[in-house]
Amino acid sequence: MPPEPTEDLARFQRRFFALVVGKRELPPDAPPGVEVHRRMYRLRLERELAREFPATRRWLGAARFGRVARAYLATHVSRSFTLAGYGAALPRFLARESAAAAELARLERELALVAAAGPGRPRPGRLGPALRLSPAPGARLVAFAYDVERAYAQRGAPRKRAVRLALFQRGGAAVRLCIGAREAPLLAALLRGARLDRAVAAASRAGLGPARIQSTLAGWLADGLFAPHAGAGANGRAASPRRGTGRGAAADRTKASSSARRRPASS
Amino acid sequence: MSFPRLGLGLGLRAQHAREILRRRPPLGFLELLTENHLGAAPARRAQDDALAAAYPVVLHGVSLDVGSVDPLDRRYLRAVAELAERTRARWISDHLCWTGVGGRKSHDLLPLPYTEATLRHVAARVREAQDALGRPLVLENATRYVALDDSLAETEFLARLCDETGCALLVDVNNVHVNATNHRFDAFAYLDALPAERVAQLHLAGHAEVDGRLIDSHDAPVAATVWRLFEHALARFGPVPTVLEWDASLPALDVLLAELRKAEPFFARAAEPPRAA
């Protein structure tokens, strides 16, 4: 067991730390040079927030984002040995500044979590109605109150419009896929680990026709949102219709997925 | 523990990892920033594995917090040990400093007063960390921007720390120059006062001048005065493995490689056997 630290050293560290991270001006008796540590502390954390939220920073502008970042770090002292994830609370913090920016920051935070996700456990099961599909690492369905995809893809400011994105890992990067309102229950059920037949039943109740269900599932498999079953045989072929048979929301999926391929997001 | 002579290496930055794997430039080794690789995502882990297969790897951390009065973070130590095993790291280094207190972290390398009490405190923690990691630590002299009430010279502090714990030293030649300029001491005498047999590695980096003070900014080529110090360090310590660090305003990989190549003639001279009288 190491000896107890001396009270002198503990007192020195508590005072010095308060000077480095403190919000107030340095007192006149602060040791010369402490302002270097203070400046580096702020610069490092501001850079980390800019690294974690590049799209939010781009949309808000560097000056406005810088003001938000300084306000954030004045109230959020790191408690982790790693800087990664320092901005975990920024989306909620940003809500006071801009609801749209907060939603965009939430997308970036979710993408970072997806990129960091480990491989999921394959869901065992035989091909057939009782099959449970195995999602890609980090796969999740996230609803936003603003069209964050538009801002993330630099097509304009996020409009107030409910959107759902499937976020998942492909080739080591986090990718985004727009999900239509009627496809969302199907995806949510599959991500929860529901049996294929039950997920399909839920989708039917949500108003999705059999052809649309088939094309949607085929699209998700082709996009890598779900892993193809290792034993795919006759039944697997039956579940893989030609691409492009869907319309409406399915067309949204195709467009968004090709966009996601061009601009895979990674953290 | 002996530290292998790995030659000249580069401090790996994520922006260059893919290019290094593709081009495989001739490097003696790579220095990975420990915290950037802990618990990494699968893609990063695969990349780390590929890098470790292509080059010898050493780990360089900033979060050991060996000088803090907080308890050592056992979770961090376990993660570092796992990373070291996975990458077959030749050694693990960190800094003689503290970064936080009361569970709060500054992510900056904060200065320690060099006193007998601090030495006892740090030595106990170095031993604890070494036990957890199962190997000796390599500790770097950090920059100090504040003059504290020291009762020991930094060189004496480092030498006694090595004697008491069996740890080794990473001498950052740029830090020596920055501290010597800011606190007005003789950088060459500082190097002469270090225990040569304990020096496992050297660092080279660039610095900046801000408001009349030198800052260890890692954003520029190595200064001429630092090259002279480096030559002196090699003459005294021998051709110990040396890493070029560059963080801010990171240039293209070729710029880094060219900067590192400037060290080659110094290194070659240090490696020559002494001439007979």
Q: How confident is the model at residue A238 (pLDDT cuts 50, 70, 90)?
A: very low
pLDDT at residue B253 is higher than 60: yes
Find the closest chain B residue to A137 by CA distance. B42
pLDDT at residue B125 is higher than 60: yes
pLDDT at residue B259 is higher than 60: yes
Q: Is the CB of B104 less than 8 angstroms away from the CB of A16?
A: no
Of residues B98, B106, B146, nearest to A33 (C-beta): B146
Query: How does pLDDT run across A91-122, given as a tens digit for each residue?
Result: 999 999 999 999 999 999 999 999 988 777 76
Of residues B63, B102, B124, nearest to A2 (C-beta): B124
In this structure, the answer to whether residues A142 and A204 fall within a common structural domain is yes
Whether residue B209 contacts residue B174, with contact meaning beta carbons closer than 8 Å, is answered with no
Closest chain A C-alpha to B2 CA, distance in angstroms: 26
In this structure, the answer to whether residues A52 and A119 fall within a common structural domain is no
Mutation choice for A interface testing from B38, B97, B107 by most A CBs within 10 A = B107
CB atoms within 10 A of CB B15: 11
Query: How does pLDDT run across B47-70, given as a tens digit for each residue?
Result: 999 999 999 999 999 999 999 999
In this structure, the answer to whether residues A75 and A146 fall within a common structural domain is no
Query: How large is the average pLDDT for residues B169-185?
Result: 98
Q: How confident is the model at residue A228 (pLDDT cuts 50, 70, 90)?
A: low
Of residues A8, A20, A32, nearest to B106 (C-beta): A20
Q: Using an 8 Å CB-CB cutoff, list chain B residues near A41.
A: 106-108
In this structure, the answer to whether residues A110 and A84 fall within a common structural domain is no
pLDDT at A7: 85
Interface check for A213 against chain B (CB to CB < 8 A): the answer is: no
Query: How large is the average pLDDT for residues B258-266?
Result: 97
Note down the domain range covering A13: 1-97
Six-digit token pair at A68? 């938000």
Q: How confident is the model at residue B98 (pLDDT cuts 50, 70, 90)?
A: very high
Percentage with pLDDT > 70 across chain B: 98
Query: Could you say which of A50, A71, A97 is where a domain stops?
Result: A97
pLDDT at B93: 98
Instruction: Quickly list H helices, chain A.
Output: 7-21, 34-52, 54-60, 62-75, 90-94, 99-116, 148-152, 184-192, 196-205, 210-223, 234-238, 249-262
Query: How does pLDDT run across B222-232, given as a tens digit for each residue?
Result: 999 999 999 99
Of residues B44, B63, B120, nearest to A81 (C-beta): B63
CB atoms within 10 A of CB B26: 10
A122 φ, ψ to 5°?
A: -60, 140
Closest chain A C-alpha to B36 CA, distance in angstroms: 8
The number of folded domains in chain A is 2
User: Which B residues in the span 4-43 are in contact with A, Cβ-Cβ below 8 Å?
Assistant: 35, 38, 40-43
**Average pLDDT over chain A, rounded to an integer:** 83
Query: Could you say which of A59, A75, A97 is where a domain stops?
Result: A97
pLDDT at residue A240 is higher than 60: no
Query: Could you say which of A39, A73, A97 is where a domain stops?
Result: A97
pLDDT at A23: 87
pLDDT at B1: 65
Q: Per-domain residue ranges for chain B?
A: 8-271
Q: Is the CB of A41 less than 8 angstroms away from the CB of B107?
A: yes
pLDDT at residue A239 is higher than 50: no
Q: How confident is the model at residue A39 (pLDDT cuts 50, 70, 90)?
A: very high
Q: What is the CATH number of domain B8-271?
A: 3.20.20.150
pLDDT at A4: 60
In this structure, the answer to whether residues A243 and A198 fall within a common structural domain is yes
Whether residue A224 contacts residue A168, with contact meaning beta carbons closer than 8 Å, is answered with yes
CA gap B129, B94 in Å, rounded: 11
Chain centroid offset of residue B173 CA: 10
Contacts of B185-190 spanning 24+ positions with Cβ under 8 A:
B187/B229, B188/B229, B188/B232, B190/B154, B190/B155
In this structure, the answer to whether residues A80 and A186 fall within a common structural domain is no
Query: How does pLDDT run across A117-176, given as a tens digit for each residue?
Result: 877 776 666 667 778 899 999 999 999 999 999 999 999 888 999 999 999 999 888 999
- Please, what is the end-to-end C-alpha distance for chain A in angstroms? 40
Of residues B105, B117, B182, nearest to A6 (C-beta): B117
